[in-house]
Each structure stands twice: as C-alpha cells, then as structure tokens.
Structure 1
C-alpha cells in the first residue's frame, strides 16, 4: 500500500506544494491583487497621471513616458499569466496547455530606472505603481518557477542520477545556504 508521497516501490517522493499553492486562497489573493493593480494603473494613467505628466520638465516627461510603457507592458504580461493559471485552476485548460501558452508571456524583468534624477522627478503615484508591479512580478515569477520550471528540471533529473535529483530538490527547497 502506498500513500500519495511514496511511489510504487515504496520509495519516498518529494511533496510538491506549488500546485496546491496555485489553487489556494493565496493564489486567489495574488490574482485579485494583480487585477486590481491593472485597473488602478489604467485609471491613474488615464486620469491623474495624464495631468501630472503635462506638468513635468522634458527629461522627466520622457522618463514618465518610458516608465508608464514599461509598467503597462509588465502588468499586461502578469495579467496574462494570472489568467492562464486561473484557467488551469478552474479546469478550463490543463497545466500542459497553460505551459505551452505561457511561453508567449514574458515574465522576465523589465528594467525600471528606480534611481537617478529622472526617476526622482517622476510623480510619486507613478513610482509607487512601478514598485508595486515589480514586487508582484517577483512573486509571480517565483510561483511560475515552482509550477513549471522546477517540474521540467525534475523530469530531466529523474532520467539521470537519483542522487543528483535529490541534491537538486534540496537546492530548490533551501537554496544556497552559504
């Protein structure tokens, strides 16, 4: 008799909590936060942000245009990922289908010039939205790695040396302790 954490040979297997996390209230909270940030940003850029941008000097105005484009792009990519994951959670698509679709989503960091004179001249509201979007992106990237990239790495590891596979799992769980 085996339980869900052992294989047919009775050998213990790693417990994968990422799929459980992705379907939990924590994901729902992350989803709501992401969608709210998209909406809040759209309202700001179409309203107060437009007014604030008109008051900026030329260098700050260019920085505003650049950062608002980066912000919008980042949020659209994050919203796409969140919607894909929600579709998986609701059974509308498989994790494999979402994995193929999410390859079109760019989660890598879009740089933001969070220092320097141009950044300092930007409206505080824009800077706050940029910072919040970067923090959200970091959380989504972390969850994405747990859900998809670690699974791909694990599949490659199980074909090789089982000791290396276990060491990689320990490294993934605890990172570099040194």
Structure 2
C-alpha cells in the first residue's frame, strides 16, 4: 500500500478538517463509550454468562469477545490518532502512515454460530462492527489516494472506431465494388 505522504496535500486538509469537526467529537465520544461499555460487560456480567455456556458455545463466545475487543481497540486507536492531529501532537503525514490505517472489516460469522450467545454480547458484536465499519470508511475517505487522471479507455476505443470508419474500413459495399 502506498504511503499517503507520497501524494498531494489535498488529503491533509480533509484529515485536519475532520479532526476538528463536531462529527469527529461525536464519533470519538461514541467510540470511547463503547470501549468502556464492552470492557465493563466482558469483565463482569459477560464473564459470568460465558461460564454458563456449553464448551462449543463458550469457544464461540471467546472468539467473538476477542473480535469485539480487537475491533474496538483498533477503532479507538484510530480515533486517538485523529485527536492527536487535532491537538497538534501529530501531523497529518504521521497519521497517514500505514501503521495507523485500518484494514477492511472481517467477514461475519454465520448466524448459527452465534445464535446461542448472550444477547448483550451479540449487541456488542453488532455495535462494534458498525463503529469499525464507519471508522474504516472514514479512514478510506480521508486518506484516499486519488489516482492521476488517465485516458478514458471507452473514449479511446470510440476514437479508434471513428477513425476506422472515416477511412472506409466499415464500408459494407466495398466487397461488391469494382476493384479498378
């Protein structure tokens, strides 16, 4: 993946504007609140609920709780980096480094694999996915590497067809004309 520092400065303005926006403030509060809520659940009631599951469902619970934690920590880390840009502790260039960027969201597990999990964990799964997806889309949009304009392949082909038509290459009656 190309580092965004190799591209023009347009993305830097987007990053700075976003970091100082009300949208960022709300997203930051929501993200950090969800981190705290998940930690409280997983360390308290969730631990008790997981002990009541059979072995197979307890393994699925463990996997899902780790994924929730991972998604939330990655989202929170990204949000903290944006806050560092806002406060001048980090530059947009630094925030654009690959180590601070998010990866595409993971695939969903089948419904049958998670249907026996506690409702509170399922709620955290859904909400952590939604947060991660939003943050990932923002990351993609803010740090978008806009490719240099290239020739339009459709227009190039149309021009070649027009040129061929202008030279008579598509004259259907040419085969019956006298070759003299």
TM (norm. structure 1) is 0.72
Quick check: 2:72–2:128 contact (8 Å CA) kept in 1?
yes
Instruction: Count the aligned residue pairs.
Output: 141
**Any residues of structure 2 matched to 1:1-150 within 5 Å, and which?**
19-100=16-97, 102-116=98-112, 118-148=113-143, 150=144
Indicate the RMSD between aligned Cα atoms, in angstroms. Answer: 2.1
TM (norm. structure 2) is 0.71
Cα distance in structure 1, aligned partners of 2:65 and 2:27: 22
Higher relative contact order (CA 8 A, sep 6+): 2
Shift of the alpha carbon at 1:103? 2.5
Cα distance in structure 1, aligned partners of 2:110 and 2:20: 33
Cα distance in structure 2, aligned partners of 1:56 and 1:97: 45
Cα distance in structure 1, aligned partners of 2:127 and 2:142: 23
Cα distance in structure 2, aligned partners of 1:21 and 1:92: 16
Unaligned runs of 5+ residues in structure 1 are: 1-12, 165-178
The structure having more radius of gyration, on CA atoms, is: 2
Quick check: 1:113–1:119 contact (8 Å CA) kept in 2?
yes
* Deviation sequence 1:48-80 (CA, Å, 0-9, x none): 000000111121111101100111111111111
Cα distance in structure 2, aligned partners of 1:89 and 1:64: 37
Partner SS state of residue 39, structure 1: helix
Moved over 6 A (4+): none
